[in-house]
Amino acid sequence: MADVTFDNVAKKYGEVSVIESLNLHIDDGELMVLVGPSGCGKSTALRMIAGLEDVTGGTISIGGRAVNALPPRDRDIAMVFQSYALYPHMSVRENLAFGLKMRRVAAAEIEKRVTSAAEILGISHVLERKPKELSGGQRQRVAVGRAIVRQPAVFLFDEPLSNLDAKLRVQTRGEITRLQQSLGTTSVYVTHDQVEAMTMGHRITVMRDGKIQQVGTPREVYERPANAFVAQFIGTPPMNLIHATVDGGSLRAPSFAIPLGVQLANGTRVLAGIRPEDITRGDAIHATVDVVEPVGHESIVYATAGSEKLVAIFEPREAPRAGETISLSVAPERVHLFDEAGVRVN
């Protein structure tokens, strides 16, 4: 096993700088998720660990050893791609065995590892089939199996669930989490899906435009987002962000005021962040309900208060109806405060 370190890592494609200075430590045995919108540099970061991309500056280390100059095959990593990249003319068994054969692993050892991986993944009964004779979920398992049989120091996953339908995605993400737990192998998992990040990661690294926005446990990132971007990227529906001014003990927005839980100078302009689930019935905000989305265990309520749009979550039985006028509130200690540049201030 091994830890992974990015030390001042930079990446340029020609003249274009994609990552300026990445500093990140992934602990031995940890499942770290890199999450962020498309194009923010997640795959680039992962491919630099794998050695599929050179670094333009800085150092990447695996298990304390700088790997910048090592070719991919000497880095003791195994990668699972979004496109599973299975060999179509080979059986599942041959697909699983191929990497080991190339490394001249003894036949008996290959047999043992393939059998064990197939058992772990529940694909023992399809070992003689070709990839085209498999379901999407089975193909995905073969791709993971190919990584497992290598017994690498580090697993790298690049959006491995994107090609699965919603239900299978939820099931498979649980399987990968359990697998990582039982193998205890250091893993870096890239996704643009914040739910995947929150449910799978021991810690998550939120990225934007090639820069790390925040690193923390899912709970830390959810409860104390470092900035307005993270606040809106993590959590669904996204956090409400409202421009407001400190006025005595209140936060004054154009159409309502809510109590302020901390000391800030009068006149300070802030972005007040309120999670939809923290909005309750009360008397601070008078709003008209635009749309109600019943999603089963909760109802998502879209409302307008003067010039402000708000999203709130209600118990289905307590949800208002479209067109209704409602009065809402939020506990002051539940309000996240950001300065006008979006940096957290409370």
Ligand X SMILES: Nc1ncnc2c1ncn2[C@@H]1O[C@H](COP(=O)(O)OP(=O)(O)O)[C@@H](O)[C@H]1O
CB of 45 closer than 8 Å to CB of 32 = no
Q: Closest CB to ligand X among 105 and 190? A: 190
Segment near Mg ion (CB under 5 A), from 41-49, 50-58, 103-111, 167-175?
Answer: 41-49
Instruction: Please state the closest distance from residue 191 (CB atom) to ligand X, in A.
Output: 9
Cβ 186 to ligand X, closest distance in Å? 20
Which residues are CB-contacts of 129 (< 8 A; sequence separation ≥ 6)? 91, 92
| Closest C-alpha among 30, 35, 10, 93 to residue 221 | 35
Is 185 a residue that touches Mg ion (CB under 5 A)?
A: no
Decide whether 42 or 146 has the Cβ nearer to ligand X. 42
Which of the choices ligand X, Mg ion, none does residue 13 contact, using the CB cut-off of 5 to 8 A by kind?
ligand X
Residue 99: phi, psi to the nearest 5? -60, -35
* Residue 159 C-beta: closest distance to ligand X, Å: 8
Q: In the β-sheet with 325-330, what is the strand arrangement from edge to edge?
A: 308-314, 299-305, 279-294, 325-330
Binding of residue 191 to Mg ion (CB under 5 A): no
We find the least distance from the C-beta atom of residue 22 to ligand X, in angstroms, to be 11
* Shortest spacing between CB 268 and ligand X, in angstroms: 35
Which residue lies nearer to ligand X by CB, 127 or 143?
143
Give the range of 37-45, 203-211, 278-286, 319-327 binding Mg ion by CB under 5 A: 37-45
Q: Are 100 and 121 in contact (CB under 8 A)?
A: no
Residue 58 binding: pick among ligand X, Mg ion, none (C-beta 5-8 Å cut-off by kind): none
Q: Nearer Cβ to Mg ion, position 42 or 336?
A: 42
- Quick count: other Cβ atoms within 10 Å of Cβ 281? 12
Distant-in-sequence, close-in-space partners of 155: CB < 8 Å, separation ≥ 6: 77, 78, 79, 80, 147, 180, 185, 186, 187, 188
Q: How far is the CB of 80 from ligand X (least distance, A)?
A: 14
Instruction: Tell me, by CB under 5 A, how many residues bind Mg ion.
Output: 1
Minimum CB separation from ligand X for residue 155, in Å? Answer: 17
CB under 5 to 8 A by kind: which of ligand X, Mg ion, none does 39 bind? Answer: ligand X
β pairing state of 31-35 and 186-191: parallel
Q: Which is nearer to ligand X, 42 or 93 (CB)?
A: 42
Rounded CA gap, 18 and 12, in Å?
A: 6
Q: Which is nearer to Mg ion, 5 or 43 (CB)?
A: 43
Closest by CA position to 129, among listed 115, 139, 121: 139
Residue 69 has what DSSP assignment? T
* Pair of tokens at residue 37: 């919108």
The binder of Mg ion chosen from 6, 31, 43, 143 (CB under 5 A): 43
Closest listed residue to residue 149, CA positions, set 127, 172, 174, 177: 127
The reply to whether 299 sits near Mg ion by the rule CB under 5 A is no
Stretch in the footprint of Mg ion (CB under 5 A) among 42-50, 109-117, 242-250, 258-266: 42-50
Nearest approach in angstroms of CB 15 to ligand X is: 10
Q: How far is the CB of 201 from ligand X (least distance, A)?
A: 16
Interface with Mg ion includes 138 (CB under 5 A)?
Answer: no
Indicate whether 44 belongs to the interface with Mg ion (CB under 5 A).
Answer: no
Question: Read out DSSP for 324-342?
Answer: -EEEEEE-GGG-EEE-TTS
- Residue numbers of the site for ligand X (CB under 6 A)? 13, 18, 36, 38-44
DSSP annotation of 84 reads -
* Closest residue to Mg ion in the complex (CB): 43
Residue 60 or 313 having the CB closest to ligand X = 60
Helix H or strand E segment including 219: helix 218-223
DSSP result, 240-285: EEEEEEEETTEEE-SS-EEE--S---TT-EEEEEE-GGGEEEEEEE
Binding site for Mg ion (CB under 5 A): 43
